[in-house]
Structure 1
Amino acid sequence: MVAVLAAALATAVPGVAHAAAAPSNDDFDSPAAVAALPFTAQEDTSAATEAADDPAWCEGDAASGTVWFRYTATQDGLLRATTTGSDHRTVLSATTGARGHLQPVADGCDYGTDATITFRATAGTTYSFQVSGIETPGGALSFALDAIAPAANDAFADAEPVTALPFTRQPDLSLASAEAGEPESTCVDDEAQPSVWYSLPAADAARSLTARAEGTAAAVTVYSGNSLAELTQVACDRNSLDPVAFGAAAGTRYAVRVTAAHRSYGPTELELAEAPPLDPYVYVSPTSASVFDNVGFSASSWKAIDRPLGGTWDFGDGKTAPVGTDTVYHRYAADGVYPATLHATSPDGRTATIATPVTVTTHDVGIAKFVVPTAARQGESKPVSVDVTNTRYAETVTVVLSKQSADSWTEVGRLTLQVPARATGKVRFPFSYTFAPEDALAGKVAFRAEARLQYPVEDAFTADNAAISIATTVKPPATRIAAV
């Protein structure tokens, strides 16, 4: 009676704090038993404690305060446990075995305000579920456990038909498994990853399609064939922003397999669609060329599914070349406007034709003859002539005459004339030069002649547009000897 009275008085004294009792399922040895599925529970875990031997393989040192649930599977199949609805972040894990010898369950770890694990259970096996708090020991916890059905399209034989394009799905790969005999994929590192299947029915005409997979370790692989044993890979994509394109032949059925990591951070997404038209860009340089130019032709595309481009370059003069990753060069033999055309092909068989006219116009004049005096005296004026040839178009030509002064050239004359196009013959540009004292001081002078076309016309072959003379010998002026 004294003890009871003391306890009553203790609870009646105001201002005295009393620690909340730990949950009844606070320890591994006293779990909340799950008798039947589906099972749900709500409890306050704010006073949950942590045992020294609580396993930390899932959460490491981030968790604190644990409660336990235990279930013995009555049949083989998928189990899903979740803490969705809790008011705090949790760590949820599943183990098998006795205390001190607990073993993690594959795919049996997750954390967050909606921690969820899905794994394959074996009939007769007992599973222990540990729930911990993150950053806070606990709070209002919601725990649920249920048996769930596998993905409807988990097996190749149960593939979901793709009835229309574009086609998008977010399969739950936690409900899937790796079927025995599944074909390999060059985009999948671990063939034991779970997968789901989709079926592309045979079409009446050939077409180009795209496939893309997004998610943790997600991959989509397209196969041709009618049975699991005879599937042949056609294309694949692994967690890419750019889809992969593939050509679908008429009358051929295709199977699409989506794989992902057992525990995926975020959803796995599949996209199938008609491939967009091939849209390459063409670069031709120069587009205004001459017969002396090597014109460069290159083509590519901003879309990854279009590359590498194949096909043919038609230069418009009867010559062709294959399209490649490098620039192709071509020289035209005569002036004219040539309808250069790219006939492009993508790896999956889409085609496009792009025409780029190339104008070939060759302006070309040359200095055929440059005549300067062999000798002169200071003060003498002597003729200098420059003969210019032109065989293509009538041109306005300016000849600039310069003399060498120390390390530079100084202009001493300029003359502009019309030079008609002639198969033979030339036009002479006549100059007269008066030899200066500095020429006599140096004892010689060299001349340079340069033929220029009127802007914006440019000479296509400038190697013969300039000439330098042999130096003219220059003597002092003649002096008169007085008679005695």
Structure 2
Amino acid sequence: MLSLRRRASARARITVVGAATALFAVLTTGVAHAEPPSNDDFDHSTAVTALPFTTTQDTSEATEADDDPSWCQFYEVEGGVWFHHTATEDGYLRATTVGSDHTTVLSANTGERGNLRAADQACDIGSDATITFRATAGTTYYFFVAGYSVTGGALSFALRPVPAVANDAFTAAEPVTALPFTTHPDLSTATFEADEPESSCAYTETVPSVWYSYTPSARTSVTARVEHNDVVVSVYTGASLPELTEVTCMSYSYEPTTFGATAGTTYYLRVTGPRQSSQPTALHLAEAPPLRPYISRSTSEPSVYDNIHFRVESNNWNEEPLSATWDFGDGTTAPATTEGVQHHYTADGVYTVTIVATSPDGRTATASSEVEVETHDVGITRFDVPSSARQGETKTIKVYVANTRYAETATVVLYKRTRDYWTEVGTTTLHVPAHPTRKVQFPFAHTFTPDDALVGKVAFRAQVTLAYPVRDARPMDNEVISIATTVTGSAAMAAA
């Protein structure tokens, strides 16, 4: 009987397990399990056998492998897919992800799994990532396309051959027939020729370059400007690469360089920069604008006691250093120089300073500036203070001011010093006419204090200033400190 119950219990457990298994099968029926793309792994790379090639695919389930290349972008790279192509001839290949709905990391590699090497400058990041590189016949190139900060999405991938840029070689320089001229240099399929000259603006050896030539029919000045942070434009003269001599160059984006161009001479412009760049490049050539020099000086309110330093300058720093001849307007001149000049006017008056300026490229222009020389000069010529006083006694202090040039409004401030600091006693403002011998008296009075008597000595200081904005040309005689006044106690204290 016990044996029968055990067999019945075992059958019941088997029935429950079977029912649970059947229920799980029912619940999981119809659930979709997405698979990684077929070219998710290097070993299953999609073969590109004919060019041009274009494809679209969903890479949202792409995965990562431990040996996926990281040289193009180490951080934020998610799962990727692979394509490969064996070049049938030497030439340039261009791969893009233009049209993708997410940011991609695109690179081209050669070699074998575990030992992949980067193709030259074949790396770019973006939803329109584009790489262009020179391929060698018989070499297989592996293209890794990964997501940047996302696993993937709707990917568009294209690969096609592209021709070398037409003006890659010096002998194939593109002629510029008229100014102004604007072009967009293509450096993606450019190379570096063995004998290309150096540039004084930047290191350009082995950097891709394209060439342009310009031969003016008349003497002119030309500005050359590039729009790109990493692109350099250099200007040369000469008949061949080994003979080239640099005229000028510019490596700062949007800043022009200017050169003088002689009629009948051919000038070669070389544009160098990175092969891969998301920033478009533009080259602008134009006739230089008229030279607009101006005169700067060291003193804004000169007097006959000043040596004035003059300079010729330009708002366009690429036009400097300017040279200039000088006419100071008082019958004196100075020869041409690129340095500043110094001049001293011996009499008050308004003078017109005139220059003829010349830029390094040969442009000339005239500029002038008025200089008003006006000398204001008052001075303290006499300072009367008492030699002694008693506490509580009030005594007169007189300050005399002389003026020989212009009628002035002058202010005298009187200070006293008993201990460690100066204290203002009073202020007086008076009209001071110009006179060869007359002096104007500024009267003050001071009542000596117990503190003055305690110390026993009081010094006075007088300072004269002119009404703003007039500047005193010789301020060294505008302040006087007296011999100290001896101060004793009051008469009552003395009697006591």
- TM-score tier, shorter chain, comes to 0.7 to 0.9
Pair 170,420 (structure 1): closer, same or farther in 2 beyond 3 Å = same
Q: Percent identity?
A: 51
Aligned equivalents of 1:462, 1:162: Cα separation in 2: 63
Gaps of 5+ in 2: 1-23, 388-397, 487-496
> Partner residue of 1:132?
146
TM (norm. structure 2) is 0.72
* Paired residues for 1:59-138 under 5 Å: 59-60=73-74, 62-71=77-86, 73-138=87-152
Deviations 1:248-282 (A, max 9, x none): 23332111111111322322222222223333443
Aligned equivalents of 2:443, 2:80: Cα separation in 1: 108
User: Does residue 300 in structure 1 map to residue 293 in structure 2?
Assistant: no
Mean Cα deviation higher: 345-354 or 452-461: 452-461
The one-letter amino acid of 2:46's match is A
Gaps of 5+ in 1: 1-9, 375-384, 474-484
Q: Which residue of 292, 299, 313 corresponds with 1:279?
A: 292
Aligned equivalents of 1:403, 1:231: Cα separation in 2: 75
The one-letter amino acid of 1:219's match is V
Residues 25 and 69 of structure 1 are in contact (CA less than 8 Å); yes or no, is this contact kept in structure 2? no
Deviation of 1:197 after TM superposition, in Å, equals 0.9
Q: Which residue of 244, 250, 274 corresponds with 1:237?
A: 250
* Paired residues for 1:205-284 under 5 Å: 205-215=219-229, 217-284=230-297
> Partner residue of 2:16?
none
Aligned equivalents of 2:448, 2:125: Cα separation in 1: 99
The one-letter amino acid of 1:333's match is T
The one-letter amino acid of 1:127's match is Y
Is the partner of 1:102 in helix, strand or coil?
strand
TM (norm. structure 1) is 0.74
> Partner residue of 2:166?
152
Residues 297 and 309 of structure 2 are in contact (CA less than 8 Å); yes or no, is this contact kept in structure 1? yes
> Partner residue of 1:7?
none
Residues 383 and 400 of structure 2 are in contact (CA less than 8 Å); yes or no, is this contact kept in structure 1? yes
* Paired residues for 1:4-43 under 5 Å: 16-43=30-57
The one-letter amino acid of 2:33's match is A
> Partner residue of 1:378?
none
> Partner residue of 1:477?
none
Q: Which structure's residues are more often helix, by fraction?
A: 2
Deviation of 1:467 after TM superposition, in Å, equals 8.9
Mean Cα deviation higher: 407-416 or 196-205: 407-416
Pair 264,389 (structure 1): closer, same or farther in 2 beyond 3 Å = closer
Residues 368 and 388 of structure 1 are in contact (CA less than 8 Å); yes or no, is this contact kept in structure 2? yes
Q: How many matched pairs? A: 457
Pair 192,334 (structure 1): closer, same or farther in 2 beyond 3 Å = same
Is the partner of 2:206 in helix, strand or coil?
coil
Pair 456,90 (structure 1): closer, same or farther in 2 beyond 3 Å = closer
Deviations 1:138-197 (A, max 9, x none): 333322221111111111122122233332222221111112311111223241111111
RMSD, aligned α-carbons: 5.0
Is the partner of 2:188 in helix, strand or coil?
helix
Aligned equivalents of 1:448, 1:20: Cα separation in 2: 96
Pair 414,116 (structure 1): closer, same or farther in 2 beyond 3 Å = closer
Deviation of 1:19 after TM superposition, in Å, equals 2.1
Aligned equivalents of 1:28, 1:117: Cα separation in 2: 20
Residues 221 and 256 of structure 1 are in contact (CA less than 8 Å); yes or no, is this contact kept in structure 2? yes
Aligned equivalents of 1:466, 1:195: Cα separation in 2: 70
Deviation of 1:205 after TM superposition, in Å, equals 1.4
Pair 313,126 (structure 1): closer, same or farther in 2 beyond 3 Å = same
